[in-house]
Amino acid sequence: MRRTGPAPAVGRMCAIWFATPGRGGTCGAMAPDGVHAEISLTVDGEDHRLTVDTRTTLLDALRERLGNASPKKGCDHGQCGACTVLLDGDRALSCLALAVAHDGAEVTTADGLAAGGLHPVQQAFLDRDAFQCGYCTPGQVCSAVGLLEEVRRGWPSHVTEDLTARPELTHDEVAERMSGNLCRCGAYAHIVPAVQQAGGVQA
Amino acid sequence: MKPFAFARPGDVAEAVRTVAAEPAAVFLGGGTNLVDLLKLGVARPDRVVDVRRLTSREITDTDDGGLRIGAAVTNSELAADPRVRERWPVLAQALLAGATGQLRNLATVGGNPLQRTRCVYFTDVSTPCNKREPGSGCSAVGGYTRYHAVLGVPAALPDASAPETCIATHPSDMAVALAVLDARVQVLGPGGARTIPFAELHRLPGDDPSRDTVLEHGELVTAIDLPPLPAGARSAYRKVRDRASYAFALVSVAAVVAGGEVRLALGGVAHRPWRATRAEEVLRGGPPTADAVRGAMAAELAAAQPQPGIDGGNGFKIPLVTRTVVATVRDLTSGVPA
């Protein structure tokens, strides 16, 4: 476990308070100022303990405090999907998650997916030329990894004809399930086959 | 964003006491709407009380053959539940028609019905809005009304400067399905527990557009109960929107056909999920042919007030919602999968 900075001035004071023996041992503990809390996050396999302003989103905690610039800030309002990470195993928007509310969470970013060599989804994005500028790609990749797990579990989507049947990775299913990830370069035509390839579909 | 204190009490009773004790305290569930409203400056609480890990995340069978859905169950989990997919498809379809995978994984069943309107004037703090700032007026009247209400609004053209004016719509898809299914909302408040019929949870603007629901400050949704549908019932949700995915409804329809009974709820047309009781009444006692449904919808929409607007207004919703209901009932009665 390592402490990660830098923290803003008030945050540093709180960090001193939390470091005082007998205090702040419990993650999620509030600082005396009432608007800072100490939390723990496991990000891409590494444990972190940090003091955050209660307003800090998970996205800002990752990018600004932990130096993980893999999730991107696009709209910051949950509309573009660039900030998508795997939160306790499921894809989620880190811009709409308060870091303090996810104390103790396990977060995997696109960076972490490549820890042991490229993830099959990342390789498929390369094979299929599924990006241009790349800004949305880490979010697309995390979303696709989450999507494949949801399909593996048999979760239906809006376009699944028979709600009680196992969904298949058709073009329409992938397009619907990836609809929360915008790509302003318009690489969609290659993203769908990339996701299908990673999901084992011969396309 | 205005600074706020954060609390995660030990149990739901403590959470209720904490919020009840402070006028500017709010509950936090999945956060997909509240966190955005915090960023926009629309929500300005002093204290945020996290209940996501306090309420139940279980979906359990009830003695009457229904389900009790814990408030912390995510939209994804509920839509994927095999019982819901098989016996209440209207609910699974409504959930899957809303938002995106990475939002549904965060959003909770308790929080979804309590999300705020997406009226663009409500979310823009630089414009007057009676819902956000009571008494300031309504910017939607005569503005962009494509996503606004046609039912439950005054017969005369609403007065934009009146303190009671609001033509916002409720954005939830799930809520429209829960309205047609006669769900019940389990609530814990400072005065104890109570059960609210889902159709009575949301209110019309009345004289206080700032209040979306009948919940009192400090009341927490702990679970939603889903009663069983009659044997042989068929149900479906149909949503019409400006793009194929990830958009709020222009209009939507939740329908149940069971024996000779047709139940209908409409989304995107009113300040609350709109149970079409008048149409249901007209359809009672006769087969729901396309003509009969058209007639029933004409009765339901007799009091509708299409809103003019600089975008051409929302009069299109009258024929659109009529056609959508006709098509949905047709699919449910003709054996074609909805």
**What is the per-residue pLDDT for B260?**
86
A153·B101 Cβ contact <8 A: no
Q: Residue A182's closest CA among A142, A150, A136?
A: A136
From CA B163, how far away is CA B107, in angstroms rounded?
32
Contacts of B318 (CB under 8 A, 6+ apart): B150, B301, B304, B306
Closest chain A residue by Cα to residue B28: A101
Among the partner-chain residues A78, A101, A155, the one whose CB lies closest to the CB of B103 is A78
Asked if residue B338 has pLDDT above 60, the reply is: no
Mean pLDDT along residues B241-251: 97
**pLDDT tier, A14 (very low <50, low <70, confident <90, very high otherwise):** very low
Q: Residue B61's closest CA among B192, B267, B227?
A: B227
Q: What is the CATH number that goes with domain B59-338?
A: 3.30.465.10
Secondary structure (3-state) at B74:
strand
| Per-residue pLDDT tens over the stretch B299-314 | 999 999 999 999 999 9
Cβ distance B261 to B243 under 8 Å? no
Asked if residue A17 has pLDDT above 70, the reply is: no
Contacts of A85 (CB under 8 A, 6+ apart): A58, A62, A71, A91, A92, A94, A107, A108, A109, A142
| Token digits of residue B224 | 């939603």
Task: Please report the DSSP string for A154-198 in residue order.
Answer: T---TT-SSTTSPP---HHHHHHHTTT---TT-THHHHHHHHHHH
From CA A15, how far away is CA B330, in angstroms rounded?
64
From CA B320, how far away is CA B315, in angstroms rounded?
9
**CATH architecture for segment(s) A2-113:** Roll (3.10)
Asked if residue A165 has pLDDT above 70, the reply is: yes
Mean pLDDT along residues B81-104: 98
Number of Cβ pairs closer than 8 Å across A and B?
Answer: 117
Q: Measured between beta carbons, which residues in chain B are less than 8 angstroms from residue A177?
A: 101
| Cis bond upstream, residue A32 (ω within 30) | no
Secondary structure (3-state) at B96:
helix
Cβ distance B69 to B223 under 8 Å? yes
Phi-psi category of residue A106: left, alpha or beta, with phi > 0 → left and psi -120 to 50 → alpha: beta
Secondary structure (3-state) at A2:
strand
A58: burial class by Cβ within 10 Å (0-12, 13-18, 19+)?
buried
Q: Is B247 on the interface with A (CB under 8 A)?
A: no
Cα torsion B243, B246, B251, B254: sign? positive
**What is the per-residue pLDDT for B335?**
64
**What is the per-residue pLDDT for B184?**
98
| Per-residue pLDDT tens over the stretch A60-88 | 999 999 999 999 999 999 999 999 999 99
| Per-residue pLDDT tens over the stretch B167-218 | 999 999 999 999 999 999 999 999 999 999 999 999 999 999 999 999 999 9
Cα torsion B39, A96, B123, B75: sign? negative
Angle at A142 between CA A138 and CA A147, to 5 degrees: 145
Asked if residue A15 has pLDDT above 50, the reply is: no
- Mutate one of A59, A96, A109, A166 to test the B interface: name it (highest B CB count within 10 A): A96
**pLDDT tier, B329 (very low <50, low <70, confident <90, very high otherwise):** very high
B3·A35 Cβ contact <8 A: yes
| Per-residue pLDDT tens over the stretch B24-83 | 999 999 999 999 999 999 999 999 999 999 999 999 999 999 999 999 999 999 999 999
**What value does the CA radius of gyration of chain B take, rounded to a whole number of Å?**
19
For chain B positions 42-81, those within 8 Å of chain A (CB to CB) are 48, 50, 52, 76, 79-80
| Per-residue pLDDT tens over the stretch A98-152 | 999 999 999 999 999 999 999 999 999 999 999 999 999 999 999 999 999 999 9
% pLDDT > 90, chain A:
82
**What is the per-residue pLDDT for A203?**
57
From CA A107, how far away is CA A91, in angstroms rounded?
10
From CA A157, how far away is CA B98, in angstroms rounded?
10
Asked if residue B85 has pLDDT above 50, the reply is: yes
**pLDDT tier, A155 (very low <50, low <70, confident <90, very high otherwise):** very high
β-bridge mates for residue A49, sequence order: A3, A40
**Segments making up each domain of chain A, as ranges:** 2-113, 120-198
Distance separating the N- and C-terminal Cα atoms of chain B: 44
Q: Residue B271's closest CA among B316, B211, B326?
A: B211
Secondary structure (3-state) at B107:
coil
A158·B86 Cβ contact <8 A: no
From CA B6, how far away is CA B20, in angstroms rounded?
15
**What is the per-residue pLDDT for A147?**
98
Q: What is the CATH number that goes with domain A120-198?
A: 1.10.150.120
Distance from CA of B72 to the nearest CA of A (A): 14
Residue where the block lists tokens 């994927």:
B80
**What is the per-residue pLDDT for A28?**
59
Give the DSSP H/E element, type plus range, for residue A104.
none
Asked if residue B156 has pLDDT above 90, the reply is: no
For chain B positions 98-157, those within 8 Å of chain A (CB to CB) are 99-103, 105-106
Model ipTM?
A: 0.96
A93·B106 Cβ contact <8 A: yes
% pLDDT > 70, chain B:
99
**What is the per-residue pLDDT for A8?**
46
**How much is the mean pLDDT over chain A?**
90
